[in-house]
Amino acid sequence: MDEQAESARDDEVRTRTSRTTRNANGERGVDASSAVSASVASSSASLAAAPDAFAKSDASAQIARAQQAVPNPNGAGAVLGLIRSGSAVTRTQIMQVTGLSRSTVALRLDALLAAGYIAPAAAESSTGGRPPGSFQINPYAGVMLLAAIGAANMHLAVADMHGTVLVREHDAIDVALGPERVLGRVASLFETLLKKAGQSAARVKGIGIGVPGPVEFAEGRVVRPPIMTGWDGYRVADFFASRCYTCPVLVDKDVNLMALGEHRAGWSDTSHMLFVKVSTGIGAGMIMNHALQRGAHGGAGDLGHLYVGHLVPGEPKLCRCGNYGCLEAYAAGWAICRHLNESGHAAQTARDAADLAQRGVREAVEQMQNAGRLLGETIAMAVSLLNPSLVVLGGELGTRQSDMLAAVRETVYRRSLPLATRHVQIVNSVLGADAGLLGAAHLVSDALFAPSVVDAAIGQPA
Ligand SMILES: [Zn+2]
């Protein structure tokens, strides 16, 4: 374990985060929308079209299809990709990277400027280290609505097109109340947040939602979620389409968004990363070769219901999925609370359990250590199978529990095959509760700024 490298990485993360915040503070309220955002509104409208033309969530289906198309490597979308990633941000840099002529680069940039996708970044050249004549994604072209829905609470935000959070809200909710009531609450909080941010529904370019269950991603459909009563087969995008949002709605499993958020925030150079959420429930998100892996039906990473009953003395414990001996039945927040309640301690939520452990209550500390050991056994198998170079522990317990992290590290280093563990780092999440929201912002902007989607939106010739 290289503590120095880890701390340097932490510093890097903090620097990036603070830069984002500074940009947000510096630029907020300077909505230089006018012609630029009007034209992006019209270009987005060409994706979403008039409400009448797009029954239900066709905007989401259309963007999913456009994302599949092979982009023109020299098109405006590809140029936008270079600007977005920061790999080429001036005319000269774009010419050097693409090999395109000055006049073709000028055409591409003009198209992107006219459609409002990009804006000159001159104002930041002194502080952001950008060369003169740089372009950036136009943060004022619209807003994104983001919601990270958990089993018992949710985080919501309005973000600009850079993904910088403008306003946010947190609320308690029981996801088992069903989609209409939960999403109804989300929609009403979105309205409040939009007002607070001085924005309107017409300015919303994309909606990103994380839910605590498996999602068939291309369809935005929740599939057989164990704890989301009434959600099976529900298409989240349809709900927002019926509320007059004509923009694309992207939906994914909560832990996938957390993995995405964490990866982009601090580990984007890491090609293979496993993110394990330990909260009320347990799940994993996998980044393999820099891309999120969802599996054939959105069920990848379901670590919580692997059998560990043979590792624990006594009869296997009952899990909330109905089976016995699942990892969750010993190591999830709900199971730790169950155990603490049985031993006379009041703990309703994962946070209560974490608080008890932090106060040094012996049973709680022991529970965290036992949970860490069983998590470690399960993660060791995943590490041997997938060979990630980084494992991030997130969620309410995974983020805050040093006892749990220590037990996971010890078990994984002891159990995994030497080749797999030689370089694997195991760390706590740096984003904590924000991982899901920031991941949702990346999910939406990846879709809106996908090169083939951009080319289709501005009618770029192939
Ligand atoms: Zn189970």
- Going from the Cα of 305 to the center of ligand 1, the distance in angstroms, rounded, reads 4
Q: What is the CATH number of the domain that holds 52?
A: 1.10.10.10
Residue 184 lies in a domain: yes
Same domain, 23 and 40: no
Kindly give the distance from the C-alpha atom of residue 334 to the centroid of ligand 1, in angstroms, as a whole number. Answer: 12
Residue 437 domain flag: no
Structural domain includes residue 127: yes
CB contact at 8 A, 13 and 269? no
Cα 339 to averaged position of ligand 1 atoms, centre (Å): 16
Distance in Å, CA 259 to ligand 1 centroid = 22
Residue 57 included in any domain: yes
* Domain contains 438: no
Q: Of 47 and 59, which is predicted with more confidence?
A: 59
303 CA to centre of ligand 1 in angstroms: 9
Question: How far does residue 328's CA lie from ligand 1's centre (Å)?
Answer: 6
For ligand 1, the distance from its centroid to the CA atom of residue 329, given in whole angstroms, is: 7
DSSP secondary structure letter of residue 120: E
Find the 278 Cα to ligand 1 centroid distance in Å.
Answer: 14
User: If pLDDT is split at 50, 70 and 90, which confidence band does 54 have?
Assistant: very low
Q: How far is the CA of 362 from the centre of ligand 1 (A)?
A: 26
| CA 308 / ligand 1 centre spacing (Å) | 10
Long-range contacts of 361-365 (CB under 8 A, 24+ apart): 363/339, 364/336, 364/340, 365/403
**Same domain? 108 vs 1:** no
Same domain, 421 and 273: yes
Residue 315 CA to ligand 1 centre (angstroms)? 15
Between 34 and 337, residue with greater pLDDT: 337
Please state the length of the chain: 462
Tens of pLDDT along 181-218?
999 999 999 999 999 999 999 999 999 999 998 999 88
CATH number at residue 236: 3.30.420.40
Confidence band for 124, pLDDT divided at 50, 70 and 90: low
How many domains does one find in the chain?
4
Distance 306 CA to ligand 1 centre (A): 7
Q: Read off the pLDDT of residues 390-421 as tens digits, 9 standing for 90 and up.
A: 999 999 888 877 888 999 999 999 887 777 77
Cβ within 8 Å of residue 56, ≥6 positions away: 235, 237, 238, 241, 242
Residue 290 Cα to ligand 1 midpoint, Å, equals 29
117 alpha carbon to ligand 1 midpoint, in Å? 45
* Ligand 1 centre distance from Cα of residue 430 (Å): 28
The reply to whether 59 falls in a domain is yes
Percent of the chain residues past pLDDT 90, beyond the cut: 66
What is the Å distance from ligand 1's center to 382 Cα? Answer: 17
Q: Say if residue 357 is in the same domain as residue 413.
A: yes
136 and 184 both lie in a single domain: no
Using the mean position of ligand 1's atoms as its centre, give its distance from the Cα of residue 58 in Å: 35
Report if residue 353 sits inside a domain: yes
Range of the domain at 99: 33-140+448-458
CA of 215 from ligand 1 middle (Å) equals 18
pLDDT for res 73: 86
CA 261–ligand 1 middle distance (angstroms) = 26
- Same domain for 283 and 414, yes or no, is yes
My answer on whether 274 and 422 are in the same domain is: yes
Sheet holding 390-394, edge to edge: 291-293, 282-288, 273-278, 390-394, 425-428
Q: How far is the CA of 304 from the centre of ligand 1 (A)?
A: 7
Per-residue pLDDT, 459: 81
Q: In terms of domains, do 412 and 281 share one?
A: yes
CA 412 vs. chain centroid, Å, equals 26
Q: Do 403 and 311 belong to one domain?
A: yes
326 alpha carbon – ligand 1 mean position (Å): 5
Element (H, E) at 263: helix 254-266
Predicted pLDDT at 35? 30
Same domain, 248 and 313: no
Distance 279 CA to ligand 1 centre (A): 14
> Beta strand pairing status for 153-160 and 165-172?
antiparallel
Would residue 248 count as lying in a domain? yes
- Whether residues 425 and 454 fall in one domain: no
How close is the Cα of 241 to the center of ligand 1, in Å?
Answer: 34
Spatial distance between the Cα atoms of 16 and 21, rounded to a whole number of angstroms: 9
Do both 299 and 412 map to the same domain?
yes
- Is the pTM value of this prediction over 0.75? yes
Distance separating alpha carbons of residues 188 and 146, to the nearest angstrom = 13
Radius of gyration of the chain (CA): 23
